[in-house]
Amino acid sequence: MYLVYTDETGTNNNSNVVFSMYGGLVVHESSVLKFEMQITEIVQEFLGFDNMLLVEVHFTEIFNYLFLNKKPTNKSKIKYFDEEVLPLIRTKVKEDLIQFVDELFQLISKANIPFLYMCIDKREDFHKSHYLDNEEISHNAYAFKGFLNILDRFLTQKQEMGLLIADDFANQIPKNLKKLSNIDILKDETIKANPNVKEIVYKRVLAESLVWKNKFLNGSISSNTIAPLKYKFESNSFNIIDNINFVSSKDSILNQVSDILLYVLRRIKEYNSDKSKYSHLEDFCKNKDLINTINFLYEINIIIEGQTDIENEVIDIALMNKFE
């Protein structure tokens, strides 16, 4: 069995974010422990974190501090950053962070641990006729749906099952929704009334992907799908275990790593999409060693990316064979 450590980036309702992405590391159960041990050593050497389970690697905050000279704005995050993180990275420079990320990508290559992700370009004229009439829901739904599609293809090739392990967004669902039954939380009216709660969108998309074997869902959720694809039966997931296992990222080293890799790929894509707007990222995004590493991982299918192929409002998933 494969354990799939997932995360998301760019999925919040922010008009300044160009890409919505969902992805994760696909690690065979027999490789988890030794992979975690190697990750721990890399983090110790380049960032100074002795134990990722005691002090979580908030990569966005570290990146913003070293490259943009910015600290978190949230009061509780500022306190944690100043007391726990800043003392560890005070002497670090940009080159340390670049080398750290490069080492992570090189490690997943050596360990033959794929990183799969789906990328949605929010600038596209994206499925505006969707029956929910909410483009933000569509972005998040397709980011997750595309990831499930890519993951299921991988698991089929390996003839193995996969268990999704996600950051504990279950704790972010509003209290009034937690009172609903599992069926009610998946219904159209719940999603329409709560368009900004992406967590229930993910739950609905996963349920739709597995409805072929969960007969109790038939008739309980709409026959309309949140993320319809060009080929109906391709939308089914055959090798993904029904439930997502939720963990706090601070308790999961590999969820933290997925967060890092996904964030890095998004920032480089943003820079490539508009070099003048994102000129402040140039030192990071034009680093020759890092870009060469990422391109190599595409070539050997360690990084597998999906993007939407949209024609006449019909959406298919295209697999990318190079980094753009």
Please give the Cα distance from 12 to 252 (Å, whole number).
22
For residue 214, give the 3-state DSSP assignment: coil
303-311 and 115-121 as β-strands: parallel, antiparallel, unpaired? parallel
pLDDT of residue 275: 93
- Distance (Å) of CA 121 to CA 114, 140, 141, 146, 207: 22, 11, 13, 13, 24
Please give the Cα distance from 201 to 73 (Å, whole number).
28
Tell me the average pLDDT across 81-98.
89
For residue 115, give the 3-state DSSP assignment: strand
pLDDT of residue 151: 96
pLDDT-derived band at 140, boundaries 50, 70, 90: confident
Please give the Cα distance from 301 to 114 (Å, whole number).
7
CA dihedral 321, 210, 125, 21 (to 10 degrees): -50
Single pTM value for the model = 0.90
Q: What angle do CA 266, 232, 228 make, to 5 degrees?
A: 45
Please give the Cα distance from 244 to 260 (Å, whole number).
21
Please give the Cα distance from 113 to 26 (Å, whole number).
6
Please give the Cα distance from 221 to 227 (Å, whole number).
14
Tell me the average pLDDT across 240-255.
84
Q: Cα 244 from chain centroid?
A: 14
- Distance (Å) of CA 322 to CA 260, 263, 303: 20, 18, 9
pLDDT of residue 230: 83
pLDDT at residue 128 greater than cutoff 60: no
pLDDT-derived band at 270, boundaries 50, 70, 90: very high
pLDDT at residue 223 greater than cutoff 70: no
Please give the Cα distance from 202 to 189 (Å, whole number).
15
Please give the Cα distance from 4 to 245 (Å, whole number).
10
pLDDT digits (tens, 9 = 90+) for 156-173: 999 999 999 998 766 677
For residue 126, the tally of other CB atoms under 10 A from its CB is 19
